[in-house]
Amino acid sequence: MSISTTLHIKLPAFLVQANMEPRVLIKPEARMSYVLELMRINMATDGGPFAAAVFERDSGLLIAAGTNRVVSSHCSTAHAEILALSLAQAKLGSHDLSADGLPACELVTSAEPCVMCFGAVIWSGVRSLVCAARGEDVEAIGFDEGPRPENWIDELEIRGIIVTTDLLRDTTCTLLRDYVACNGVIYNARCGIHK
Predicted pLDDT at 142: 94
Dist. CA 178–CA 119, nearest whole Å = 28
Whole-structure pTM value: 0.94
pLDDT band at residue 191 using 50, 70 and 90 as cut-offs: low
Average pLDDT across the chain, whole number:
94
Dist. CA 50–CA 73, nearest whole Å = 15
The domains of the chain, with CATH numbers, are 17-189 (3.40.140.10)
pLDDT at 55 over 90: yes
Strands 162-164 and 128-133: parallel
Dist. CA 111–CA 130, nearest whole Å = 9
Q: Lowest mean pLDDT of 29-33, 70-74, 95-99, name the range.
A: 70-74
pLDDT at 195 over 50: no
Predicted pLDDT at 40: 98
pLDDT at 78 over 50: yes
Under 8 Å CB-to-CB from 178, ≥6 apart: which residues?
A: 43
In sequence order, which ranges of the chain are alpha helices (DSSP H)?
A: 13-20, 28-44, 70-73, 80-92, 115-124, 135-140, 152-158, 169-181
Q: Lowest mean pLDDT of 5-9, 35-39, 72-76, 103-107, name the range.
A: 5-9
